[in-house]
Structure 1
């Protein structure tokens, strides 16, 4: 029996209406209009193909043109909105961009200086300043919110890497475990990147990123919606996201966004985000607390093993603790004391380290949101850090990069 929504009933209704009006059509010889699709009941005893859905004639050219104009208007409005907010076009710090820099070691720059760590290494050490001092630009492989354990192990297992290694150490290395962090997907991208991903990255860096201010993950519509002050469900803790902090170049040289220096409201929002993610966050559960000593020991063992491989191959490894101030520094020192983290790391690895608390020239810089340096201060800090490496660790300028 045909369903109440089948087109066979529609056909019968149309035929009856035509007959009632004196027309010659009957239900037996009714022909469907072109826009009514055929159904299984129209083909008894015949294998049923995919249903035919005839599309009535439409002014497709004008429809396409209207959709294109609407798209361009909406995109222009979105771009205008974020430029008015203070954004400018910048290169994205994507997994693909990280992979491009990592592949420089595979393509003949294995003797370069490599920077590992998290967001402080990413923003506090300025590649152009370093290049001016040393004659050669380092390879920036730091990833925000991510421990350096995995890339450290990858470099230890890579015989092509024979250069120098500066590794940023934060409390998160000991809190999150060896493989923890927000950007671990970059390591998988490097191992498994396919042709379509490479092409997509090439197109993005040449056609979109240099020209569009809104082309940043923080400005994506879905993330903007999540940031709104929605009512919280009972028993569900809020999950604050870190706002945009940096602007970058094609080779991942990042500076703190100057909006944090000039916009008190935005700075307060970022500071509030750090507080909710760290010292105002719910404390670890007893089960999580019980796992921490084992996670820290496993992390230390992995780092010790990787450093031993690198040093056996002649790679100079130096750890660095970049500055933090205010509540952020107090939180780190309380949750992961220096004696249980930094001092233990140097003792177990046997590698040298540079801790900002031990050097007056690495102190006194402006960190607007307590964790990353303002752009001008990062330039001065890079000079001071490089001079320490020269003076105490013999970091003379390396040979020029191969052409």
Structure 2
């Protein structure tokens, strides 16, 4: 009798799980979680690269605006994608310079509001914790858990921790705001990643203006909130890049900075961190080449759906542009 009850319970659980999975497959495709373990997977490959390889670091634009598989088809080398959305790139640069022997090409994305933060800023410290520190301190249990989880991650929708796990669904329940208390932000699903952390905007987000406007509202809220005084730490922020890039170049590495196209509130607020004082000074003091969207006719009129990140078509065009410029400037082989 007890075995009958157990089998009945397992059957009910299986039916519920299948229904859960089928429901979320009806509204979205299974995909990889872009979590600390996936980043650590890619970071682990760094020591196998040579001087002809390419590594990408930066924030979400460096992550989402480059198609590393298209790059591979154009050059025969797939870049290592180590950019982290919402994060200053300095902690990753420091890790590459101090804890590896990599000496190839380093592409560094510049999102000014995140890029020009000193290493002791809370957002920089958070990057250390969720990437570099996690990679260095990853336990055998965490590694084993990721190995066991990874084969199911992109094949089952319900295991997606970011959006469809039961915990995520409960946390995403929206209640009406009261007094001055606001609930958590509801981020629309904008991108998918694969096992190499190649990123692409979802088909739905590319055409759904409701989702695009949700994201624009979030960007507007950030832009209109309290602003960090970048001038107070400008020298400190630029100096940290100057020091690390000098070490990197002294061992044979090459560096290029990129500033992909933005529109809307990001374009309107571009002078809050003036180009002359920040971008131009960065290139001058690091003695590095940079590609700024305002300097290139072929990319300056791109139109990101939510002001900040390319759709798949413009991502591919930007990738082709970047490969071509790097080849023309002798930074990668033809």
Give the TM-score taking structure 1 as reference length: 0.75
d(CA) in 1 for partners of 2:24, 2:305: 22
Q: Counting helix residues as a fraction of each chain, which structure ranks higher?
A: 2
The reply to whether residue 210 of structure 1 matches residue 210 of structure 2 is no
Verify the 8 A CA contact 1:174 1:296 in the aligned structure 2: no
Q: Counterpart in 2 of 1:166?
A: 107
d(CA) in 2 for partners of 1:248, 1:352: 29
Q: Pick the aligned partner of 2:275 from 328, 334, 338.
A: 338
- CA distance 1:262–1:81, change in 2 (3 Å): farther
- CA distance 1:219–1:267, change in 2 (3 Å): farther
Verify the 8 A CA contact 1:174 1:341 in the aligned structure 2: no
Verify the 8 A CA contact 2:70 2:316 in the aligned structure 1: yes
Q: Counterpart in 1 of 2:208?
A: 263
- Cα-Cα RMSD: 2.2
Deviation at 1:233, TM superposition (A): 4.4
Verify the 8 A CA contact 1:104 1:110 in the aligned structure 2: no
Q: Pick the aligned partner of 2:219 from 274, 296, 304.
A: 274
- CA distance 1:167–1:233, change in 2 (3 Å): same
Q: Pick the aligned partner of 1:116 from 57, 60, 67.
A: 57
Structure of larger gyration radius:
1
**What does the per-residue CA deviation read over 1:58-90, in whole Å, with 9 as the maximum and x for residues that have no partner?**
x543343343333333333332332232x1122
Q: Pick the aligned partner of 1:193 from 123, 130, 138.
A: 138
- CA distance 1:249–1:322, change in 2 (3 Å): same
Verify the 8 A CA contact 2:175 2:183 in the aligned structure 1: no
How many corresponding residue pairs? 328
The reply to whether residue 68 of structure 1 matches residue 10 of structure 2 is yes
Q: Which runs of 5+ in 1 are unaligned?
A: 1-58, 398-403
The reply to whether residue 128 of structure 1 matches residue 128 of structure 2 is no
Deviation at 1:302, TM superposition (A): 1.4
Deviation at 1:245, TM superposition (A): 1.9
Verify the 8 A CA contact 2:40 2:131 in the aligned structure 1: yes
Q: Counterpart in 2 of 1:312?
A: 250
Query: Quick check: 368-377 or 267-276, which moved more?
Result: 267-276
Q: Which runs of 5+ in 2 are unaligned?
A: none
SS in 2 for 1:373: coil
